Chain A
């Protein structure tokens, strides 16, 4: 158990809909990362927040957005969903924001868009 929790575990929805994925980082971790894992693209970095502020952006679509709240939990919002958004979404956390920091991953949310 990494200490990072993600809800829900599974999500099935239809094209055009909007969903929210939730992540609670390990206690004391200030940095939260979101990654997407699909069969054709592998594991890709989406976005990072550090202590409530956006710190880095990766290959995140404009239809996707995220935020980190004062209690440090984070939400990833996916809107106008398409079939190709079906994937595993992982959240990770680390204490600080340095390249030597270990990232601890949650169990993921499996999203299926029908």
Chain B
């Protein structure tokens, strides 16, 4: 499976934007980029995914580099509830099926 690299931790202030980076230099053309997050004492939850183009939804935006070797999850206005571990995951049905392969993720701390 193609690997992702994320910072172990990041800090942000409430109501400010947060940019969470993910490097995936060995990404293949068929890999989808997915982001999940895990709030304290909860199961992971889906945030967003994309293939080549930037994506927006009600939770976040996903900016994908033109060469697809990196991506950034953008939370436009962080709230205390956004404090969680954020996982950047590559998914390719041909190599890994539909399972999710979690790395260590980025622990996001949001300061009031």
Give A residues with C-beta under 8 Å from B: 2, 4, 31, 33, 35, 42-45, 48, 55-56, 58, 90, 92, 94, 97-108
Contacts and interface: CB of A to CB of B under 8 A. Distances in A.
B40 interface: no
A56 B1 CA distance: 15
Which has the most chain A C-beta neighbours within 10 Å: B32, B43, B44, B103? B43
Nearest to B87: A43
Contacts, number: 67
Given A2-B45, A106-B43, A107-B43, A99 B96 contact: yes
16 contacts: A2-B43, A42-B104, A43-B87, A43-B100, A43-B102, A45-B99, A48-B98, A56-B98, A90-B43, A97-B98, A99-B91, A100-B91, A102-B46, A102-B49, A105-B43, A105-B45
Nearest to A102: B46
Question: Which of A31, A92, A94 has the most chain B CB within a 10 Å cutoff?
Answer: A92
A31 B97 CA distance: 12
B97 A97 contact: yes
Contacts of B103: 42
A33 B99 contact: yes
B93 interface: yes
B45 A31 contact: no
Contact of B93 (A2, A31, A98, A102): A98
